[in-house]
Amino acid sequence: MKKETCVSLDMQMTGQVLNGKIRKQGYTIAQIQKELKLSCPQPIYRWINGQTMPSIDNLYKLSTILNVHMEDLVVPRQDEVWILQGCENQAQLVRLKRYHKTIHKMRCGKNDQSKRVG
């Protein structure tokens, strides 16, 4: 059985993580702009709004500024981690896990059927 690998990042969730980490560390967008030596704050707003992703260089600089690993600033698409981090109570966690499994099975099932036909 082949293990699934993640090939893309969730820009929306990554933006939320970036925004949360920046705010939690007490930085403003203007301070991050200055630290990254950006001419304007718009790229940062695009990152936190999930419209674009920071470059590898900026991601590395952000991880240094925020004192976290680069991997802690990005969220893989279809990853269950964001579900687990966002849950406040156990009942909600169970429902979200069940929903995630169902969606995953539906997508895998469609892929498996298309492979069998061809």
pLDDT at 93: 66
Of 34-38, 60-64, 83-87, 103-107, the least confident: 83-87
CA gap 111, 72 in Å, rounded: 30
What's this model's pTM, rounded to 2 decimal places? 0.62
pLDDT at 77: 76
pLDDT at residue 94, as a whole number: 74
Which pLDDT tens digit goes with each residue over 90-116? 776 677 677 767 766 666 655 444 443
**Separation CA 80–CA 32 (nearest Å):** 29
Could you give the residue ranges of the DSSP H alpha helices within 1-118? 11-24, 29-36, 42-48, 56-66, 81-86, 90-117
